[in-house]
Structure 1
Amino acid sequence: MSTALPRTRSVWKLSVRRLPLPLAIGGLILLASLVAACFPGLIAPYNPLAFDYHAILKPPSWAHLFGTDNFGRDIFSRVIHAYRVDLQIALFTTLFPMLFGTLVGLFVGYYGGLAETLFHRVVDAVVTFPLLVLVIAIVAILGPGLNSMYIAVGIIYWVFYARLVAGEVAVQRRLDYVAAGQVMGYSHLRILLRHVLPNVITVALVYWMTDMALSILLGSSLGYLGLGAQPPTAEWGVLIAAGKNFMDTAWWITIFPGLAIVLTGLGFSLLGEALAEWLRPASH
């Protein structure tokens, strides 16, 4: 007991020294994003859907920090309220693919054989087409809206998690601890869930962080095309689409939602980088 605690502290200090900047910046960005998503009414000074015909296309000022749109709606308030929608998109479009894809990859990578062959055929079929085109096609069939987008992404994106995890499991199953578990009479399910899964889940978690950044971009793209969130919902892609015709006279309508997308995506990317560094085995 007396020797374990100092070693734990030394590992903690080493880890903190190895990733202060990505972890700090990414954590602060996502913490601010979560606060905005959970408590938009405490930050936004105006109703994001309220029209004000006396303040149409006003440039940024103290009264309207990000200016107003062609209906007099406060852009700052709409950007803040959009955090809830876009973070919901980031979570709902990635959670199912991550969980389902990890389970599929776990079993495919461990058992191999016919299941692995069939799985690779599915992967080949999916990666043959551009992902955005596939998502747009499915959403067009189901009808525009967030629920259709969640279904479309869930149908496709689990393949990438499964492929990533299956590759890691294929390496792990050749290691000694798997053979030792089989010799000791452990069931395959116990070996998979209690021994193999903890050694491969980290790659899925790191990929998940990056994927959430890409999902925000995907959700905004579909919102811009009219296939994701629908007006007058405050969503970054919808806001950018609403301001595309006013770029010469009211640039703030599109610039500030775009900056929110970039900043939030940067937060997820930095956190994923920090997580990857944190979980990487020490070389010493």
Structure 2
Amino acid sequence: MTTFALPLPLALPRRTVVGVTALAAVVALWASFALSTRALESAGLTMADAAIVRFAVPAAVLSPWIPRTFRALRAERPSVLALVLLAGLPHFLLFAWGAHLTSAALTGLLVPGTVPLFVALLLFLRYRRRMSARRLLALAAIVAGVMASALFTGGPAGPGGIAVLLAAGLVWAAYTLGVARTRLDPVAVIVVVSVVSVASALLLAATGVLPSTLFSGTADLGSVATYALVQGVGTGLLSTACYVVAVKNLGSSLPAAAGALSPVLTAIVAVPLLGEHLGPGLGLALALIVTGVAVFALTPATTNAPEPAR
């Protein structure tokens, strides 16, 4: 009796599976970051309060790894370390400021939506790394979606808020390239970013540069606990670790682009949670960004210039 075996589909490489799984977690966690940051004022917390909580939790949880991490810093290049540290307080303050000036949906669109463009621009300026026509068209769709979100979402957003959010996207793109080049492992990246950031945030709050209800003794403990869970554990530990794992397994371009999918989840959840309106303009922006991300992710990168060494 003759049996016929159906050919099984080729299994994806383990690195790809790990990277894609990490990216899915990043998308969900980034959406929660945008939503919770936009809700800062209603929770009675300041940007300094949120920054302290955001970075203190991972710094405390990973404190046993601090000595090892700082020993590893001796072998790190200062320029790469500077890029890695951009993911800490600089990005957080820009993101929170932009969220204060605009809306959760717009914040979730503009920051991750512009990261692929900035990564491509930085790679071209530094390494003259070019892309295929399809990837350029994909980036053009993302840019068009960003422009549509800025033009049609309405609300309190103004040129100043949009500029702040674009700066946050640029900072995160620079960090992405830094992660691709760093010799630090994912835990060490979280440790150094968290320790330096919480120390800086505490200094700014203690000196009065940034107002803080934690230092004035008027903070709502329930809000502090919520932010410790959502931003300290979720964003501070899990999303950072997942993003580093994704970059290490997939390279810098794909994680930067796939992160633009988080606006979809952010905009949808912001409707019932924050009472924001999902109108036709925002829907158009979401469609353009998702299309651009899908095309970018499915189009192979050109190899006429090397990616930074890992």
TM-score by length of 1: 0.29
- Specify which structure has the bigger relative contact order, considering alpha-carbon pairs within 8 angstroms and separated by 6 or more residues: 2
